[in-house]
Structure 1
Amino acid sequence: MKSMTPFRFSLSSNDIQTIGGDDSFWLGGQLVHLQSGVTYIDIDREIADNYMFNKTINMDETSIFSILELKKEIWFGGENTLLVYNEKQDFWRSYNLRLGGGVSRATSMIDAGDDVWVGSSRGITILNKSNKKPILSKVEEYFNNIYIYDMAVGIWIGTETGLFLYDQTKRMIQEYTTYGYKKKDVTFPLKYIDYTAFTQDSRQILAANRSGVLKFNFMDRQWSNAVDPAIFGGLEIKAMALHKNIVFIANENGIVQYDMKKNLMDVFNYSFIGQVNDMYIKGRKIWLGTTEGLISYRYK
């Protein structure tokens, strides 16, 4: 058994939904009590700062489902709400974020030049970075009232209806089957819906649904089958993380650590972990944002 280590400092939420950042990271989670908020963690210096909703000016209470770190700001996507933190000025601001009727959750956000794309449970909205105002586009119409599970730099879009890409030059939405090249031995999933998670590095991007994990190589623009569904039981994938040939897959049964080159796997399904909602790799450690808090272990 690998040594799983719970983070020992107090957190603003023990039900962590998302991890964001680069060298250090931010945590956001479910709004479960009056002491909820967001947490900043510097692992190297062992520092944790909590920004509590009930003690911070201009910070509306909301569950947090996505985090995006920009050059000068940190964006937090919540329920009908966008929180923005200006690091230099140490200043928070809340914005109304509604897509369609009812409650919309900002499930993912990506930096797209002058704009930020926000995926939600009710579609996609594109916001101007400077004024945070929505930009009307055909993208919003195309994905209206469609659940957006995840998005990735590129722009890759995983939805309840399938996997799509957006060509920023041509301003065109296309299905993944029309993009790149596929060898004869590569099979696209028979069930092409519910692409729930992405993970990527400079060489490749992985896209997952219950029928398997596809890989697209950025260098030769080739598709390949990265992970057979038997590896993760064909269950819905909540999150993935990638280090070279090793992919970490989180589903309702725990975590699978799979070496795509050697075809070797480890499974971690300890009950104390809870449900893993997001993962973050730094150095030799992987950090798990779970319903039981923040947990780490050394994977190499």
Structure 2
Amino acid sequence: MIKTRFSVVVLSLLLFVGNFHAFGAKGNWYIGDWVSWSNFRYVTSVASDFKYLYFGTTGGVMRFNKFMRNFEDPWTTSDGLANNWVVRLYYDQPKDEVVIDTKGGISRYNLTFQKWYAGGEYAAMASNNFLPPDKYRKFFLDVGYSFVPGSDYIQDNYLQQFPVVFGYNEDNDNVWLATWGLGLALGNSLTGQMRFLNYGLDEKNVRSIYIDGQILYLGGVGFGSQAKGVTKFNRQDNSWEYWEPISNFNFYSADANVIAGDSAFIWIGTTSGLVRYSKKEKQFRTYTRSWGLWENEITALKSDGKRLWVGTTRGLNVKEPGSDTLIKVELPGLSRIEVRTIEIDSSLIWVGTDQGVFKLDLQDKSREKFVDPYGVVNSRVNCIVKSGDQIWFASRQGILMYDTKQNQYKVYSQGVDIPGGEVLQIAVHPYAVWAATTGGAAKLDRSNNVWYLYTEFDGLLNNYVKTVVLEKDYVWFGTPEGLTRFHWYVPGRIE
């Protein structure tokens, strides 16, 4: 974490002694302050101790509690791994350490002292728990999956094939199957049945986070190819569900720019239309230009409980309750304007675009451009957030706070006050303002008017933070490498 006060920047330098620097958690935080999830569906290795099974993946280490029979928080670079791509790992019983060989070097976690160490030697002993193909191919997989005859692949109903990496016996009747792309399957040798266990993200590039009670909906846009699916994470039972277009009718694309919701529906703004998921019917429907959209690519969503306001790359739409038509909203003097963010303030609709901010009054039906005296919101505006009587704007120039009651402004300039890069999103709390930037997560301590910067050194999976969502004492970040939760509000903590 980097602390700044106006133009003064204080940097803390850490001295590493050899390859054996020890820390409880990364960046001198407590274990559990930072927890991250990525795509864990590409499994590389496995290790076991008395209590846990450790599965190495391309996104970190999954930890399965043998006694509780569930997954616990994974290990990633947020904790102390040198790199999230795990090549191999093993349990060193004499030292009570899990030794993890990653693409960035060796990391070791001492279970006795609960500390991470960097470096060391990799000296694993051969395990007799691995199964030959003829042993695990006897199992019956979940409906829709089958072993490909004469090969070490699994095929689904859509003819997608996934390599089997290994089979592993858990010193009892439980047998694990590790795959490259489907994650893990757990079977029982007595019943001969095997089922897949979802855990982690379907698309690791998290651009949007929507919290609906105990459920998180997570979406993003794929790198070089289309996103595979939207992830539904139910924290109440620690279950993970993947919504994929390939297996759902009327769900055209999972490349999600934004996710919103109301009591009846989950709305997903994709690059190919507006997707509606009915919570009751558990069915999808996609709206496109045929239904009135300015453009198929959805860039912003906001629900007031009745109407749904929809931003596209060419303009603003609104969907009235009970109607399937999306009404085009004309903005004064402009056409083909990209809507980047929408906020609702009673009867006022604030619309942030690539050409500034527009204000729509639903009472008097007026529409006008909002101009601040400092020019902060006169160009591209990325985010608008209402907090009490204040409206907060994030733009290329920085952050503007507008007090609607006092008619006062407060400016935080990009690169002068705000550390990191361009502010993409903001989340406002009475004590702090969080900013997702292209160079880390920035936090404003409102009582002291001091900015802090949190980076990969602290626990982020990537410094390019695309989205930020506050939830009580926790803050959630979406990055190109996955989802991160930070326990930010701890009374008495000195930063």
TM-score, with structure 2 as normaliser: 0.54
In structure 2, how many angstroms separate the alpha carbons of the residues matched to 1:201 and 1:297? 22
In structure 2, how many angstroms separate the alpha carbons of the residues matched to 1:295 and 1:249? 14
2:383 paired residue among 194, 197, 205: 197
Consecutive unaligned residues of structure 2, counting only runs of 5 or more, are: 1-26, 38-73, 75-198, 490-495
1:292 paired residue among 471, 476, 481: 481
Does the C-alpha gap of structure 1 residues 131 and 68 become closer, same or farther in structure 2, counting only changes over 3 Å? same
2:412 paired residue among 205, 214, 227: 227
Deviates more, 1:104-113 or 1:117-126: 104-113
Deviates more, 1:279-288 or 1:21-30: 21-30
Deviates more, 1:242-251 or 1:91-100: 91-100
Deviations 1:99-132 (A, max 9, x none): 55xx753111112464322112221122233333
Deviations 1:126-149 (A, max 9, x none): 22333331224434x754211212
Secondary structure, aligned partner of 2:466? strand
Deviations 1:63-121 (A, max 9, x none): 11111211211111111311100101111112214755xx7531111124643221122
Q: Does 1:5 align with 2:199?
A: no
How far the C-alpha of 1:299 sits from its partner, in A, is 0.6
Contact 1:123 1:148 in 2 (8 A): yes
2:366 corresponds to which residue? 172
How far the C-alpha of 1:233 sits from its partner, in A, is 4.9
Q: Does 1:118 align with 2:303?
A: no
In structure 1, how many angstroms separate the alpha carbons of the residues matched to 2:440 and 2:487? 16
Aligned residues: 288
2:230 paired residue among 14, 18, 38: 38
In structure 2, how many angstroms separate the alpha carbons of the residues matched to 1:197 and 1:60? 27
Contact 1:210 1:234 in 2 (8 A): no
How far the C-alpha of 1:44 sits from its partner, in A, is 4.3
Equivalent positions of 1:33-182 (< 5 A) are 36-97=228-289, 104-112=296-304, 114-139=306-331, 142-154=333-345, 155-177=349-371
Does the C-alpha gap of structure 1 residues 234 and 15 become closer, same or farther in structure 2, counting only changes over 3 Å? closer
2:461 corresponds to which residue? 272
Secondary structure, aligned partner of 1:135? strand
Does the C-alpha gap of structure 1 residues 228 and 92 become closer, same or farther in structure 2, counting only changes over 3 Å? same
How far the C-alpha of 1:202 sits from its partner, in A, is 3.5
1:184 corresponds to which residue? none
AA at the equivalent of 1:225? K
In structure 1, how many angstroms separate the alpha carbons of the residues matched to 2:406 and 2:281? 42
1:26 corresponds to which residue? 217
1:243 corresponds to which residue? 429
Contact 2:272 2:297 in 1 (8 A): yes
Contact 1:80 1:97 in 2 (8 A): no
Give the CA RMSD over aligned residues: 2.5
In structure 1, how many angstroms separate the alpha carbons of the residues matched to 2:222 and 2:421? 27
Contact 2:36 2:485 in 1 (8 A): yes
How far the C-alpha of 1:13 sits from its partner, in A, is 0.7
In structure 2, how many angstroms separate the alpha carbons of the residues matched to 1:120 and 1:78? 10
Percent identity between the two aligned chains: 20
Q: Which has the higher contact order (CA 8 A, sep 6+)?
A: 1
Does the C-alpha gap of structure 1 residues 137 and 120 become closer, same or farther in structure 2, counting only changes over 3 Å? closer
Contact 1:237 1:250 in 2 (8 A): yes
Secondary structure, aligned partner of 1:231? coil
In structure 1, how many angstroms separate the alpha carbons of the residues matched to 2:362 and 2:435? 30
Contact 2:420 2:437 in 1 (8 A): no
In structure 1, how many angstroms separate the alpha carbons of the residues matched to 2:411 and 2:236? 33
Deviations 1:139-197 (A, max 9, x none): 4x75421121211113111112112211111111123248xxxxxxxx52367211111
Consecutive unaligned residues of structure 1, counting only runs of 5 or more, are: 179-186
Secondary structure, aligned partner of 1:156? strand
In structure 2, how many angstroms separate the alpha carbons of the residues matched to 1:119 and 1:299? 31
How far the C-alpha of 1:25 sits from its partner, in A, is 2.4
Secondary structure, aligned partner of 1:54? helix
